[in-house]
Amino acid sequence: MKKISNAKYEAELARLQIELVKLQEWVKHTGHRVAIIFEGRDAAGKGGTIKRITEAMNPRICQVVALPAPTEREKSQWYFQRYVTHLPAAGEIIIFDRSWYNRGGVERVMGFCTDEEYKEFMRSCPEFERMLVRSGIQLIKYWFSVSDEEQERRFQKRLTDPTKQWKLSPMDLESRKRWVDYSKAKDDMFAHTDIKQAPWFVVNSDVKKHARLNCINHLLSLIPYEEIERPPVELEERPAQRGYVRPPMGDQTFVPEVHAELI
């Protein structure tokens, strides 16, 4: 597959991020509520796509939710309960970096839930999502699909990249051994939860840059946003600063300018 050039990628990403800011302003203005789920295999590129979506957006409007493992108390709650508290209010976009679909994936494959808990999830999840949609939340679900060969290449790259070695958690290493089990779990999950009100959209992520642009383009196409006219902003001349004497520089503790030594 021919890959997009860096120059074209950066130009298109910049254009899409401008559109995302327009979307953000429309969501804020209209009170629209959007919940976006990102799921997929480890090293499939979910985090990189989320980062590019949120890069230019207001974190008070667009927030990322990446929950840790549930506490003992949360394990005793209704399964969806801890996710409900993070659902969007009016004028908000919430991105779930992993979601309630943990039960249909990692918990199922790794044996962290019982068969009955898994079956109950498959029964109740479609109804839960239909309820969210009826309440006025626009629910968008993305599954990032990566080939076995490309996933392995990315895992190997993480071994030598100090900034990415934290991504090689024991859970990631174990999932690497269970490709087929995860494939079967994903197929079963889709069979039960790919519903008309909230379908799954699959992103081919073997080429990360393509996946990012394709996903953002698609996301923008799903929300009927319009550009909201903002009143022009004028920067008036600053008033003269009178009656203020700055404290001596020596009374303050400055961060060492290490970069100056590298020039």
pLDDT tens for each residue of 102-126 = 999 999 999 999 999 999 999 999 9
> What average pLDDT does this structure show over 155-178?
82
CA 241 to chain centre: 45
Per-residue model confidence (pLDDT) at position 91: 98
In angstroms, the Cα distances linking 208 to 1, 10, 145 are 12, 13, 11
pLDDT tier, 50 (very low <50, low <70, confident <90, very high otherwise): very high
Q: Per-residue confidence at 257, pLDDT binned at 50, 70, 90? A: confident
Distance CA 64, CA 96 (A): 6
Query: What phi and psi, each to the nearest 5 degrees, are found at residue 216?
Result: -65, -40
In this prediction, residue 263 has a pLDDT band, given cuts at 50, 70 and 90, of low
Q: Please, are residues 121 and 79 in contact by the beta-carbon 8 Å criterion? A: yes
The helix/strand/coil state of 137 is strand
pLDDT of residue 69: 92
Q: How far apart are CA 83 and CA 154, in angstroms?
A: 30
Check if the beta carbon of residue 32 is closer than 8 Å to that of residue 228. no
- The sign of the CA dihedral 253, 255, 256, 257 is negative
pLDDT band at 240 (very low <50, low <70, confident <90, very high): confident
3-12, 40-49, 135-144, 193-202, range with the lowest pLDDT = 40-49
The lowest-confidence range among 53-57, 165-169, 218-222 is 165-169
- Written as six digits, the tokens of 91 are 């004028």
- For residue 261, pLDDT over 70 is answered with no
Burial (CB < 10 A; 0-12, 13-18, 19+), residue 253, is exposed
Of the given ranges (17-21, 166-170, 254-258), which has the lowest mean pLDDT?
166-170
Mean pLDDT of the chain: 93
Token pair recorded at residue 31: 């009170």
Average of per-residue pLDDT across 191-203: 98
Q: How confident is the model at residue 262 (pLDDT cuts 50, 70, 90)?
A: low
